Structure 1
Amino acid sequence: MFIQPGRRFVPAVVLALACGIAAAGEPATVIPLDLPAAIALAAERHPALRAAAHEASASAAAVEQAGRLPNPELAYLREGHRAGSRTTTVQVSQPLELGGKRKARIAVAQGAFDLAASEHALRRQALRADVIDAFYTALIAGERVQLAQATVELAGKGLQAADGRVAAGKVSPVEASKARVAHADARAELARAAADLVIARNALGALVGEPLEARELAGGAVDALPPVEALPALLQRAAVALSVRRARQQLTYRQAQADAERAARMPDVTLTIGSQRDDQLAHRQAVVGLAIPLPLFDRNGGNLAAAVARTDGARAELEAAELAAHTGLAAAHLRYGQARGEALLLAQDVVPEARNVHALTLKGFEYGKFTFLDVLDAQRTYFQARARQWQAMLDAWRAHADIERLAGPAQSD
């Protein structure tokens, strides 16, 4: 646990402030949205994921089509128009693919299907990471609104205390002016935090495919980060990361394209079988033909060279993907450890101590032992520590989301 247990749902009054919902009338039934439900909704509704699924379906149909043989051709020929002197021919021509063209074509289509399926899985994994990021951004934005509300309340108490001391003639009216400035600044920070909450909830709503004005976030996990594997284990997973797998399948696809262009250099043969009737001779004779293109001017060299170059490019992209996954996981793991340690230190030591100092300073100000500047300084220190704690928590969750974006979840859901 990194923070002290508190309210796990953003209060209705905070949502009313942040979303502009009136508090009058009977409260509506609210179904809290937790992280697994948000991930499931996004996976079901997000248009980018649906588009990737449709592309995978189209690629599967292309694989089936690639295995089809070329259609034969039926031809009818007639020479002459007078009866008794005409010659009629009926023939069927069948192209025969040589050089393994059909096999190469199937391999290209299969490579495209594997690539589309990998792209779908990659988008699904990236969407999961985006939802994790957006969910805890919204959740912590709600906690910041609560913190800003508490700041306004404490600033109001300080203003009352300052006004009381000014009325008693114990301090200068300047102290009351400083308290009013602090109170106004706290209200401005509350408005800023409320706007950030609206933005964060809208971003999450866009991912899950529904508006979230009337839904609270079930964020029990905000105060307990999930475990992350040790760096050596993460780096081993980098070798089989989806981004690396997609780059490897891209290389396979490009190699299949190069093989298809290489096979295309072999000319196809067209076999013709038919029957010809000569009216003058009054008999029918068989027709057999064989047509072979002569590769004198076009041997498909340019297409083959382009495919080989794209294969070399895909090989370089695979190396870049492996390097990016390795470097990205190492950086995300480091950020996670740093943010987790900072959140733990702030929650266990800094925030409780700052809270006690602020309470003692405010009590001492009421008895004339401290100036209002001391109260403001203690209050600023306390709330800055709280804000740093939430920022560190958010940084840790974002680093965790980056780890899942690169390596995927440690265990499939």
Structure 2
Amino acid sequence: MQKLLLPLALAVLVLPPAYAENGVKAESTVKAESTKSGVARTRPVEPMGTLSLGAALDLAYSANPDIAVARREVQAVEGAILQAQTIPNPQVGTSIEDTKQETRTTTFQLSQPLELGGKRAARVTAARRGYDAAMLELQGKQAEVRAAVVSAFYDVVTAQERFRLAQATTELAKRATEIASKRVLAGKVSPVEETKARVAESGVRVELAQATSELQASRKRLGAMWGNAVPYFDLAENQLETLPSLPGVDELKQGLRQAPSLQRARMEVDRRQALARVELTRRVPDITVSLGVKRDEQLGRNQAIVGVSVPLPLFDRNQGNVLEALRRSDKARDELTATEVRLNSELGQAYDRLNASRMEVGLLRQEILPGAQSAYDATTKGYELGKFNFLEVLDAQRTFFQARSQYLRALAETHRSAAEIDRIVGVAFERPNMGTVHQEQQ
């Protein structure tokens, strides 16, 4: 009895270390890949002075919570691939018949399930398609964050310029009030002129307070991109008037084919088809091979046991899961079509906004702003010399302030539209001082 049980016991004892060795090797592989995908990375430090767009993008890529979530999903799917590659564990069992030793029958048995129908290969393929989908999801999230950072960065720059404009306008309003006060004391104008000047100065101060609040809010929105509720930087580098290029429509449509969200939708179709193949393979029943020994005390001898068991697929043929998987594949194809239509529509709208805002910036820069500036300067000097009344000065001041504000809004809209195209196409516009942006290494 002992001679027959010894090989069986050795087989049972030798198998687990092999599985454990594979597990340790796989675990070390996951750790190495996780490190490669960006878990152990040096986080950039937010500067205390001037913040460039490249530095802001570096901070967001390294510390943005949404990107971190996408990275974790990639690492989790690595575990799914590891699990899909494993084979079923063997089973060891024993049974004792009769309680009396003289008539007792003892059976030891080792069973190993064998997968048929290509189940393991189908599982691995589906898991790898899931990994590819997770990587594309990470790329899409990076494109979204990049567009959000660019938009938030130029919002800060715009808010800084509006704040400076409001400060300059406040100084001019104070100067106008002083001039009006001196002219009233000299008896040249009615005290009503001074009252109007002070009212106008109060209105400009309100605009300064609004600009201050807008600047603080935009700084916090930008800092939130890398999880900092209280930004450390003092200023965002001003490249507002350097406009992004306007690519051709054909070039954008060509780039749209490689957009992360569109690739993600295509990969989802492949993944769903792979999952459907997994469910189809499960219709093929697996077999279980058994090997053991039986000791009959009454007969006084040992008997070898070899067995094979096969389930009969009479009722459960996995038909429900197969139908569900096929329908979800159809759903993924419909979502791919919907994504193509949506991205084309969004790209067309963003391109039209970018084109219109660039034209508006050019018109304001070349014609409206110089005229408003010239009219305001001439009216202010004329008012000091007594040639104009204060209403004319106030009207020229309001016109200049509105033109300058409209110019800043047009610049901001240009950069926002370009950032939106960035997000859709997944390729960043060339902008000044973007620096070296450390994106996820694919």
C-alpha contact 2:162 2:405 (8 A) present in aligned 1: yes
The aligned counterpart of 1:13 is none
Give the deviation of 1:221 after TM superposition. 2.2
Rounded to whole Å, the distance in 2 between the matches of 1:332 and 1:77 is 73
The aligned counterpart of 2:11 is none
C-alpha contact 1:234 1:407 (8 A) present in aligned 2: yes
What letter corresponds to residue 91 of structure 1 in structure 2? Q
The aligned counterpart of 1:190 is 208
| Of 261, 273, 285, the match for 1:243 | 261
Secondary structure of 1:298's counterpart equals coil
Question: More deviation in 393-402 or 251-260?
Answer: 251-260
| Of 325, 330, 349, the match for 1:312 | 330
Rounded to whole Å, the distance in 1 between the matches of 2:55 and 2:196 is 47
Moved over 4 A (4+): 211-214, 410-413
C-alpha contact 2:157 2:237 (8 A) present in aligned 1: yes
Give the deviation of 1:159 after TM superposition. 1.3
C-alpha contact 1:272 1:289 (8 A) present in aligned 2: yes
Rounded to whole Å, the distance in 2 between the matches of 1:133 and 1:111 is 33
| Of 358, 362, 367, the match for 1:344 | 362
Give the deviation of 1:218 after TM superposition. 4.5
The aligned counterpart of 1:298 is 316
Secondary structure of 1:286's counterpart equals strand
The aligned counterpart of 1:99 is 117
> Aligned pair 1:116/2:134, yes or no?
yes
Secondary structure of 1:94's counterpart equals strand
Give the deviation of 1:296 after TM superposition. 2.3
What letter corresponds to residue 80 of structure 1 in structure 2? D
Rounded to whole Å, the distance in 2 between the matches of 1:226 and 1:377 is 34
RMSD: 1.7
- Cα deviation, 1:358-401, whole Å, max 9, x if unaligned, reads 11111222233222111111111111110001000000010011
| Of 172, 176, 181, the match for 2:190 | 172
Secondary structure of 2:398's counterpart equals helix
What letter corresponds to residue 61 of structure 1 in structure 2? G
Rounded to whole Å, the distance in 2 between the matches of 1:83 and 1:351 is 108
Rounded to whole Å, the distance in 1 between the matches of 2:231 and 2:103 is 88
Q: Give unpaired runs (5+ residues) of structure 2.
A: 1-46, 431-435, 438-442
Give the deviation of 1:211 after TM superposition. 5.7
Counterpart mapping for 1:243-392 below 5 A: 243-392=261-410
Length-normalised TM-score, structure 2: 0.84
Give the deviation of 1:141 after TM superposition. 0.2
| Of 32, 38, 42, the match for 2:56 | 38
C-alpha contact 1:39 1:208 (8 A) present in aligned 2: no
The aligned counterpart of 2:79 is 61
Rounded to whole Å, the distance in 2 between the matches of 1:186 and 1:338 is 30
Secondary structure of 2:50's counterpart equals coil
| Of 165, 169, 178, the match for 1:147 | 165
Give the deviation of 1:168 after TM superposition. 2.6
Rounded to whole Å, the distance in 2 between the matches of 1:97 and 1:410 is 51
C-alpha contact 1:41 1:209 (8 A) present in aligned 2: no
Residues 374, 407 of structure 1: CA spacing in aligned structure 2 closer, same or farther, 3 A cutoff? same
Rounded to whole Å, the distance in 2 between the matches of 1:297 and 1:376 is 88
The aligned counterpart of 1:228 is 246
Secondary structure of 2:333's counterpart equals helix
Give the deviation of 1:230 after TM superposition. 0.8
Give the deviation of 1:410 after TM superposition. 5.3
What letter corresponds to residue 154 of structure 1 in structure 2? L
What letter corresponds to residue 353 of structure 1 in structure 2? G
Rounded to whole Å, the distance in 1 between the matches of 2:151 and 2:429 is 17
Length-normalised TM-score, structure 1: 0.89
Secondary structure of 1:222's counterpart equals coil
| Of 419, 428, 433, the match for 1:401 | 419
Number of residue-to-residue matches in the alignment = 385
Give the deviation of 1:182 after TM superposition. 0.6
The aligned counterpart of 2:30 is none
C-alpha contact 1:267 1:293 (8 A) present in aligned 2: yes
Secondary structure of 2:240's counterpart equals helix
C-alpha contact 2:117 2:284 (8 A) present in aligned 1: yes
- Cα deviation, 1:53-76, whole Å, max 9, x if unaligned, reads 111011112102211110111111
Rounded to whole Å, the distance in 1 between the matches of 2:164 and 2:369 is 16
Counterpart mapping for 1:205-216 below 5 A: 205-210=223-228, 214-216=232-234
The aligned counterpart of 1:11 is none
The aligned counterpart of 2:219 is 201
Secondary structure of 1:84's counterpart equals coil
